[in-house]
Structure 1
């Protein structure tokens, strides 16, 4: 019989994990005052020093906020669930990219800042998804999305080079209506997409650009968008800070 897998993390980290879960699932509501150290000591059967360490971890991760002379509170902003299906269809003529209009519906200010646009040899998994030959290139468009001036997502989108040369996909400026609208105008409407979601530690770029606190992981979405005849027209590597966002999916069951 193999030995049982036990949690060997320091107790303060285990307590922080329990509280973090309650914050993320909404059991501890935004703005709630955290129980006293005495109450937490009794709940977790540990010392005041350990409770202080656990709370400091969560403060560093921006889950808790201390108010001098008042107490410690759950952050005012709850984790936000974003639904990728809301952004698949191209924007209506003359309208911004759907990611921006959906932000407006939630009474948030959305904006993008471009980081890089250019022809590159993409990562192996991207090249496979785009069905490129060995050494083949793609057009890369990298950008950061902000919600209420906070970095919300780091996006690296790759396009088949034959679709991207000589049009706005190769332009450093933002695309009116977003790439789905442009691709649809070019005769390549989005018909379906595959998403693979994972959680992992942040890279240095993600840590800095997304302002990741402490060791909070990122959510990584690997997305392939297909047009007619299952032609891949876009592959996107998208990362989001996991302490602020959840991914939401709705599936019809016949």
Structure 2
């Protein structure tokens, strides 16, 4: 998706549990724009998290987290890398820690486990040059700029439950709703 191909997106569908048979948020958003969204699961593994993930998820220095790494596609072309991190204490023994599609997506599984996302999440957006591995995965030339959106999600009970790091090649527009 080129920089002139932007559409207005909203975060809320990505943190709302899906109903049975409902498409994932990305597929639904792409379809609403007459396009085809998809994703390919690249890896599911327990890792030592990056410092911001460790801090937010409140995991100790010796604790691992589960990461689900995905390649996000638009009309079968790569447009984003998405890494979602979960505390191992939440993810172990669930579909989050298994390689395979999660019916309804991770947010639906988390809600079934009692971790409903709060509406007041934090998102951080930065720009950087793509790394060589990001260039390879996304079909970019060396030095191409990318957006990195990091979403920090807590449950309605206030427990940190997910950090998603999305490296994007596309234009990003946001709609923020006023909280009264």
Answer whether TM exceeds 0.5 for this pair: yes
Q: Which residue of structure 1 aligns with residue 43 of structure 2? A: 116
Indicate the residue corresponding to 2:158 in structure 1.
230
1:194 equivalent in alignment to 2:122:
yes
Larger radius of gyration: 1
Unaligned runs of 5+ in 1: 1-61, 64-76
Using the TM superposition, give the Cα deviation of residue 143 of structure 1 relative to its aligned residue in structure 2, in angstroms. Answer: 0.5
Output the CA distance in 2 between the equivalents of 1:228 and 1:189: 6
CA distance in 2, matches of 1:105, 1:231: 33
1:1-254 counterparts in 2 under 5 A?
78-192=5-119, 193-213=121-141, 215-241=143-169, 244-252=170-178, 254=180
Moved over 6 A (4+): none
**Unaligned 5+ residue runs, structure 2?**
none
TM-score (norm 1): 0.66
d(CA) in 2 for partners of 1:253, 1:174? 34
Higher fraction of strand = 2
Higher relative contact order (CA 8 A, sep 6+): 2
Deviation digits for residues 152-205 of structure 1, max 9, x if unmatched?
Answer: 210111101111111100111011111010011111111132100011111112
Structure whose residues are more often helix by fraction: 1
**How far has the Cα of 1:253 moved from its partner?**
6.1
Whether the aligned pair in 2 keeps the contact of 1:84 and 1:247 (CA below 8 Å) is: no
RMSD: 1.8
Q: Residue deviations 1:61-80, cap 9 Å, x none?
A: x77xxxxxxxxxxxxx6234
Q: Taking structure 1 as reference, are residues 181 and 253 closer, same or farther at Cα in structure 2, changes over 3 Å only?
A: closer
What CA deviation, in whole Å up to 9, does each residue of 1:67-113 have, x standing for no partner?
Answer: xxxxxxxxxx6234433233221111222322212222221111110
CA distance in structure 1 between the partners assigned to 2:8 and 2:134 by the alignment: 20
Secondary structure, aligned partner of 1:152: strand
Tell me the matched-pair count.
178
> Does the C-alpha gap of structure 1 residues 189 and 238 become closer, same or farther in structure 2, counting only changes over 3 Å?
same
